[in-house]
Amino acid sequence: MIRVAIVDDQQLVRAGLRALLERAPDITVVGEAADGEDARALCQEQRPDVVLMDIRMPGTDGIEATRRITGDEQLANIQVIMLTTFDTDEHIFDAISAGAAGFLLKDAHPDDLRRAIHVVAGGEALLSPAVTRRVMNAAARTVVQPPRTDLVAGLTEREREVLYQIGCGRSNDEVAAELHITSATARTYVSRLLSKLHARDRSQLVALAYQAGLPQLRN
Question: Domain 2-126, what fold?
Answer: Rossmann fold (3.40.50)
**How does 39-61 read in b/e, with b if 16+ C-beta sit within 10 Å?**
bbebbeebebbbbbbbbebeebb
| Main-chain dihedrals φ then ψ at residue 50, nearest 5 degrees | -135, 140
Q: Return the pLDDT at 90.
A: 67
- pLDDT: which is higher, 134 or 44: 44
DSSP 98-114: TT-SEEEETTS-HHHHH
- 58-111 pLDDT, tens per residue? 889 999 999 999 889 899 889 999 888 766 666 777 887 788 888 887 888 888
Asked whether the whole model's pTM tops 0.85, one would answer: no
Q: Return the pLDDT at 217.
A: 47
* Cα torsion through 20, 43, 204, 81, rounded to 10: 10
Least confident span in 84-88, 114-118, 147-151: 84-88
- Architecture of the 137-214 domain: 3-Layer(aba) Sandwich (3.40)
Question: Please, which pLDDT band fits residue 204 given cuts at 50, 70 and 90?
Answer: confident
- 16-73 pLDDT, tens per residue? 999 999 999 999 999 999 998 899 999 999 999 999 999 989 889 999 999 999 889 8
* CATH 3.40.50.2300 domain locations along the chain: 2-126, 137-214
Contacts of 12 (CB under 8 A, 6+ apart): none
